[in-house]
Homo-oligomer: A and B are copies of this chain.
Amino acid sequence: MLRTFCRVSPALKAAQRQPSLYLVARPASTVGKGKVLTTATMNPQIRNAEYAVRGALPIRAEALNKQLQTDKQLGFDRVVFCNIGNPQQLAQKPITYFRQVASLCDNPDLLKPENRETLLKLYPQDAIDRAELLLKHLGSVGAYSHSQGLPHIRENVAKFLERRDGFSANPEHIYLTQGASAGVQTVLQMLTENEKSGIMIPIPQYPLYSATLSLVNATPVPYYLKEEQNWGLSVEDLKKSVDGSRAKGVDVRALVIINPGNPTGQCLSEENMREIIDFCQKENVVLLADEVYQTNVYMPKERPFHSFKKVLRSMGDKYNDVELFSFHSTSKGMIGECGRRGGYLECVNIDEKVLEQLYKIASISLCPNVHGQIMTDLMTNPPVEGDASFENYNKEVNGIYESLRRRATKLSTCFNGLENVTCNDAEGAMYLFPRVRLPKKAIDAAKIANVSPDAFYALQLLEATGVCVIPGSGFGQEPYTWHFRSTFLPEEHLFDDFCSNIEKFHSGFMEKYRD
């Protein structure tokens, strides 16, 4: 089962077909015998890692995109990258105030008194004030900061967490990171003692988790989300999963929850979260909460976001032994500043000596990039009522939010209208994960093409329409079910075309392969 949830890249498959090479050590003194570093001699943990979000499909999409740029005629005008939550690549406008502050930090010469009059024609006063405050603490954006992140910014993150949750937060327990991914990778590495160390991950999952577990040589312990219950999570399933793995000798140490879900978009109820925390305590596993989509919540009344920190603290002192790492990022939400690689992790109930080790590991990479730190400051400490930029900030954020919500609905309606396709609504995040019931003829054709059936479908979709989605096998899915993940980020004015292209392709595909 473990081996089935991550099948995508043909190149990797080919490499894996040479198992005999894996265990042959190089002779200690091979002189002049070809390359030292090959896929046979390299780190096997890297070789075995897979990451579909930027795997075979996107590589083909890039190639098609290049062909279009050289005026090659294809059946479509543009490649639409729905493989990755990269809003600004698809023309989402950045938050004006955030960019103003960032640019002033970059160019402090603008802040000199002799430029003030000119500057005020281009910048509002509050952006100038914020940049001056940040620079006072940073010195320069070109200097290494504290390895854990600038103390001033960590203090602001802590205040944000206190406002969000109603419980205290400690800046010393916050680590600024280069996007959430870097934080996740560090914590998973830290949690792994040897290859018996097991980490529970959802199926479907965001493949950062499976890839990182491969890199650090830990054992993934999968639990399934229930598609027919809106991708819900049952504690009985968690229990079955942990018991089964422990019976096999796996030292299960942690549970990863992605909330709102990626690729599945579900938002957990508070009650469900309490059960999960109780499970972590009973089973003595650390909780990793990937909460990067915390503001991408599209049914805020029925399915609001709750942070695991808040739910944990609200359960009282009795649960103060439950260890929690929570991750957040500047790449998602309405900000979408993916390229900056900003984010943070909060440590709750973590051993102080482990915190020192986290600092040490951060210090080896010197510091998270300062621009990402600045964006983390802005995300957690945006303009408030009364600030010059507040109105515009609010308008921009709401505009993006409402548009995302409309697009999510439009796309799920489109998918649900396709023959043999069902798709849950997006309660949150930036993705839909529809299920496609493929005809036997299509599955046979995929076999001949030597790709998984969902990759076969996705590849044909790409070649026919320029729409790049990721096959479900990149995220994991119940055996013999087939899905794909698509963002709903294409620009709104292109959305009807986008949907009708998919519809046209799909009916043609079904016609061609009908049993």
Interface residues of A, Cβ cutoff 8 Å to B: 11, 15, 25-26, 28-39, 41-44, 46-47, 49-51, 53-55, 62, 84, 86-89, 91, 94, 96, 99-100, 102-104, 106-110, 115, 118-119, 121-122, 138-147, 178-179, 181-182, 185, 189-194, 196, 208, 211-212, 215-216, 246, 249-254, 281-286, 321, 323, 331, 336-341, 350-351, 353-354, 356-357, 360-361, 363-372
A147 to B321, CA, bound (A): 39
Residue pair A43, B115 in contact (C-beta under 8 Å): no
Contacts of A252 in B (CB 8 A): 28
Residue pair A321, B34 in contact (C-beta under 8 Å): yes
**5 closest residue pairs by CB, A with B:** A103-B107, A54-B363, A339-B370, A103-B106, A88-B140
Residue pair A212, B370 in contact (C-beta under 8 Å): no
Contacts of A122 in B (CB 8 A): 110, 115, 118-119, 122
Which one of B36, B53, B145, B251 lies within 8 Å of A323 (CB-CB)?
B36
Closest chain B residue, CB of each to CB of A182: B365
A88 to B141, CA, bound (A): 8
Contacts of A49 in B (CB 8 A): 360-361, 364
Closest chain B residue, CB of each to CB of A361: B46
Residue pair A30, B284 in contact (C-beta under 8 Å): yes
Give the shortest distance, in Å, between A212 (CB) and chain B (any CB).
Answer: 7
How many copies of the shown chain assemble into the complex?
2
Given A44-B193, A250-B28, A354-B39, also A89-B341 (CB < 8 A): no
Closest chain B residue, CB of each to CB of A100: B107
Residue pair B37, A191 in contact (C-beta under 8 Å): yes
Give the shortest distance, in Å, between A172 (CB) and chain B (any CB).
Answer: 13
Residue pair A364, B211 in contact (C-beta under 8 Å): yes
Which one of B94, B110, B212, B216 lies within 8 Å of A140 (CB-CB)?
B94
Closest chain B residue, CB of each to CB of A207: B364
A119 to B354, CA, bound (A): 50
Task: Select the residue from A102, A104, A115, A144 with max chain B CB neighbours within 10 A.
Answer: A144
Task: Select the residue from A49, A62, A285 with max chain B CB neighbours within 10 A.
Answer: A49
Contacts of A145 in B (CB 8 A): 339
Closest chain B residue, CB of each to CB of A354: B37
Residue pair A351, B103 in contact (C-beta under 8 Å): no
Residue pair A284, B33 in contact (C-beta under 8 Å): yes
